[in-house]
Amino acid sequence: MQILIIEDDADVAAFIQKALEEAGHLCDRASDGEAGLALGLSGRHDVLVVDRMLPKRDGLSLVRALRHENGRAGVLMLTALSDVDQRVEGLKAGADDYLGKPFAASELLARVEALGRRRDQEAPLTRLVVGDLELDLLARTVKRGGEKIDLQPREFSLLEFLMRNAGHVVTRTMLLEKVWEYHFDPQTNVIDVHISRLRSKIDRDFDAPMLHTVRGAGYRLQA
Q: pLDDT tens-digit profile of 6-42?
A: 999 999 999 999 999 999 888 999 999 999 999 998 8
**Do residues 108 and 27 share a domain?**
yes
Rounded Cα distance between 32 and 58, Å, is 8
**Residue range(s) defining the domain that contains residue 167:** 127-221
Q: Structure pTM? A: 0.56
Rounded Cα distance between 209 and 223, Å, is 8
Picking from 57, 85, 120, the residue at the C-terminal end of a domain is 120
**Do residues 57 and 16 share a domain?**
yes
Do β-strands 47-51 and 2-6 pair in parallel, antiparallel, or remain unpaired? parallel
Domains identified in the chain, total number: 2
pLDDT of res. 82:
61
**Do residues 91 and 170 share a domain?**
no
CATH number at residue 153: 1.10.10.10
**Do residues 141 and 171 share a domain?**
yes
Rounded Cα distance between 104 and 100, Å, is 10
CATH number at residue 40: 3.40.50.2300
Query: Is residue 4 within a helix (H) or strand (E), and if so which, with residue range?
Result: strand 2-6
Do β-strands 97-100 and 74-79 pair in parallel, antiparallel, or remain unpaired? parallel
pLDDT digits (tens, 9 = 90+) for 44-82: 898 999 999 999 999 999 999 988 876 778 999 998 766
**Do residues 88 and 140 share a domain?**
no
